[in-house]
Structure formats: C-alpha cells, structure tokens
C-alpha cells in the first residue's frame, strides 16, 4: 500500500493468505471507494477451491478461473474482489492478458499476488514453464499496481530467483524465524519395534500400520509423526 513490492516468507499456519485476502478492503478504505480487485496466481485448482471456501464466509467475494462461464464473465467485468488464476491461464490465454489491459482493471486492480512463490524457481525451468515468465505480466500492469510473492519455503537462492523472475522492485521482505518450538526430533535405538511403539502415542494404530505394510520385515527406516502435548 506504500507503493513497494512485497516478499512474504512465513511458515505454514501464519496466515499468509489473510495478508492478500484483506487487500481489497484495505484499498477500498484507502481510496474511499469500493471495487478494489486482487489477482492471485496459484498453482493448483484444489488450493483455489480451498481458499474460496475459506474466504467466502468472511464476506470476501472470491472466484477462481475454471470452466464456469458465469464466473468468468463476472471476473472479466471486474466484479470479483479476489480472483485466483493459474500461471498458464494468465500467461497463455489472451482473454486474461487482455483483461489486465482493460479499462476496468486499470481502475480496479490493486495488486498481483503470486502464492506458493517458490514454484517460480522450482517449477519454472522444466515443469511449468509459465511460472518462469510471470515477470512479463509486470509490463501489462498499471504503474500503481504492485506485486506480492508469498511462500513458506524460501531459501536465500529462492528469494533471489523469485525477485528476479517476477520483475519485483523496491522489495519489502516480511519474514520470521522458521524455528517451531513445538516441533522436535528424537532418536531412539530400534532394538524391538513393538517395544518402541509401546512407548509412543497411538502405538496400537502405528504398529498395525507397520505390520500391515511390512509384515515381519523391520529393516526399513522408521519415521513416525506423532501429536504431542
């Protein structure tokens, strides 16, 4: 909102989606008018559906680009506050590129968001090439529209690659120490898996799963995920 691009690197569960989900309301207040629109690039339809189900009860008008023609017409008209779209649809479909150039989006668009931004680096080279070219969209955006990238898995190299490929400028970094106090590692000698399992929560279920999968063969590396107090 201060005219700078933003890179958000926060662990899962810190509410990253709320940061951009609230932007339409924040800009409506800032501009003293309703109708602000945020376009969010997301890698999977399932994630888009989850976010729509999460935001809609909170009063945020959300749609994702799919096969629903009524939804698409509503999006193109600029009548949706938060629009989810895949990188392929945004980069390869002229309808949505032209959408960003339309008078209604030049007036209403306030931010382009790239969720799960680590995909720009990890998938952009070989798997989903549209990710590598998302920076080209920057040239279509009005000068007042900024870019926000969000991820829970950003190394220093990932941060640099995302900044470059999205053509981000004057970037503000929002992050925190990734250490989780409620998560720890423990190593126990594995002399007898049944004795081991008797000392951990949900032992009966865990032992049953191992026996079902491996029978009497306990030579596999044992990795157990447990709830803790």
Q: What is the DSSP string of 156-198?
A: HHHHHHHHHHTT--SPEEEE-----TT--------S-HHHHHT
Q: Are residues 118 and 211 in the same domain?
A: no
**Dmax (CA) of the chain:** 70
Q: Are residues 169 and 211 in the same domain?
A: no
Rounded to two decimals, the pTM is 0.76
Number of domains in the chain: 2
Strand (E) or helix (H) holding 149 = strand 146-151
Q: Are residues 32 and 127 in the same domain?
A: yes
User: What integer pLDDT is reported at residue 221 of this predicted model?
Assistant: 45
- CA quadruple 216, 221, 227, 229: dihedral sign: positive
**Beta-carbon neighbour count of residue 36 at 10 Å?**
22
Q: Are residues 218 and 153 in the same domain?
A: no
Q: Are residues 147 and 188 in the same domain?
A: no
Q: Are residues 199 and 226 in the same domain?
A: yes
* Average pLDDT per consecutive 10 residues, the chain (229 residues; last block may be shorter): 88 88 92 92 92 93 86 93 94 93 95 93 80 90 93 87 93 78 70 56 60 60 51
């Amino acid at each position: 909102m201060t005219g700078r691009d933003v890179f958000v690197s926060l662990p899962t569960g810190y509410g990253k989606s709320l940061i951009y989900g609230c932007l339409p309301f924040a800009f409506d207040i800032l501009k003293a008018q309703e109708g602000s629109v945020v376009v969010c690039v997301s890698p999977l339809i399932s994630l888009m559906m989850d976010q729509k189900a999460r935001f809609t009860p909170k009063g945020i008008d959300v749609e994702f680009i799919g096969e629903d023609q009524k939804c698409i017409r509503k999006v193109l008209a600029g009548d949706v506050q938060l629009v989810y779209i895949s990188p392929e649809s945004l980069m390869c479909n002229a309808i949505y590129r032209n959408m960003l150039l339309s008078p209604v989006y030049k007036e209403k668009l306030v931010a382009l968001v790239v969720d799960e931004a680590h995909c720009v680096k990890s998938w952009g080279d070989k798997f989903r090439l549209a990710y590598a070219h998302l920076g080209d969209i920057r040239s279509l955006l009005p000068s007042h529209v900024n870019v926000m990238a969000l991820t829970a898995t950003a190394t220093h190299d990932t941060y640099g690659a995302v900044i470059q490929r999205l053509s981000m400028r004057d970037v503000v970094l929002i992050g925190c120490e990734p250490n989780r106090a409620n998560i720890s590692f423990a190593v126990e000698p594995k002399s007898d898996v049944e004795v081991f399992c008797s000392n951990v929560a949900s032992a009966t279920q865990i032992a049953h799963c191992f026996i079902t999968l491996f029978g009497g063969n306990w030579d596999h590396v044992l990795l157990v995920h447990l709830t803790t107090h």
